[in-house]
Amino acid sequence: MATIREKRPGVWEVRVFTGSDARGRPTQMSRTVRGGKRDAQRLAAQLESSGGKAKPAGRSVSDVLDEWVKQNIDTWAPSSARDQQSRVRSIKKDQISRVPLARLTVGDVERWHTRLRKAGMADAGIKNQHGVLRAALSQAMRWGWVSSNVASLARLRSTKVAQRTVMSVDDVRAVMTAAASIDAAAELAFRIAAVAGARRAELASLRWTDEHDGQLLIDSAIEVTKRGDGAPELREAATKTANVRTVTLDADTVEMIDKLRRAREPYGPWMCGLGPDLVSPDRISWWWKRARQMSGIDPKWRLHDLRHWSATVAIGQGHDVRTVAGRLGHANPAMTLRVYAHAFAAADQAVAADLGEILKGDGK
């Protein structure tokens, strides 16, 4: 049974009775949570479902992070493992890593956010590190080391950011024209990025056999890892979200693939390379930098902005979010809604205009 009381505005105490001690006296666990009553009720439900049992056994936040990495590293792609371990190292540089797990509070987490922000870290970096801590504490909760995940209760405050801008169709055409003068494969890579929303590492892994009857299979990506001597090593791995997707291509893109396939397939299986060796994603990045310079478009545009252009234009033309998310390889359409909110706002204006025109009627 849990009880909730408001100690002062925005600060709640949650108590859960955990049974009896050796002398038969009732025992309880008390936690403080900052937020609204729903936050307190959520914590109470978590404590009740776990029976109030927690076994931190002197562990610190640093210990929890180490166990989380150890438990999950074999399931991560090399790039994800590199990113997650880097974030763990960054968290360990802060004093929060030395806090005993049993004493970690929502306040500790939010004060940690403040220190990161004062140190100049951008919102995206704070969000990434917070996600790591939240995941590690979630594992600790499943293992019975803690009764609640204070990182899930902490508030992530974000500063206002400028709305995402999108390349114009003239920019997209210009950079493709420039790419054609560098390498026909460069033009094809950029067109597939714009039409199918393929990521850089996915472009590098495309084989001639991945296109059949106008359908493009995107089922892998080229990962760049480092050997023991520090030298880069390429390997074919799953896509960023481990999703396999099939994307329909337009007739002109299929014709470009067919033309280049006839000329280059005898020399190797890769759309973006010659010979049998894996194609480095860095080759495609070099194509982009060179074509961007030659075309004269704004140097702020990245190769990844072709993917953003693809999604934004598709949404702006009224295509449903599930279809767009599927083409992008998003694991959840909610991600598409969040990342491309600006495009939905433009589409919403078009809907309003269309409905208004319908209501005008013939003027009778």
* Domain ranges for the chain: 1-53, 55-161, 169-348
Predicted confidence pLDDT, tens digits, the chain (364 residues): 678 888 888 888 888 776 654 455 666 667 777 788 888 888 777 766 655 554 555 789 999 999 999 988 877 777 788 899 999 999 999 999 999 998 999 999 999 999 999 999 988 899 999 999 999 999 888 887 888 899 999 998 876 655 668 899 999 999 999 999 999 999 999 999 999 999 999 999 999 999 999 999 999 999 887 766 777 889 888 887 777 899 999 999 999 999 999 999 999 999 999 999 999 999 999 999 999 999 999 999 999 999 999 988 888 888 888 888 888 888 777 777 667 766 666 666 766 777 777 787 665 4
State which amino acid sits at residue 85: Q
* Cβ contact 14:31 at 8 Å: yes
Task: Output DSSP code: residue 26.
Answer: E
State which amino acid sits at residue 217: L
Threshold 0.85, pTM exceeds: no
Cβ neighbour number for residue 57 with a 10 Å cutoff:
9
**145 Cβ contact partners less than 8 Å away, ≥ 6 residues apart:** 54, 55, 56, 57, 59, 64, 101
Sign of the Cα torsion 328, 136, 40, 157 reads negative
What is the CATH superfamily name and number for domain 169-348? Intergrase catalytic core (1.10.443.10)
- Phi, then psi, of 55 in degrees rounded to 5: -130, 65
Helices 251-264 and 184-196 sit at what angle, rounded to 10 degrees?
Answer: 150
Tell me the CATH class for 55-161: mainly alpha
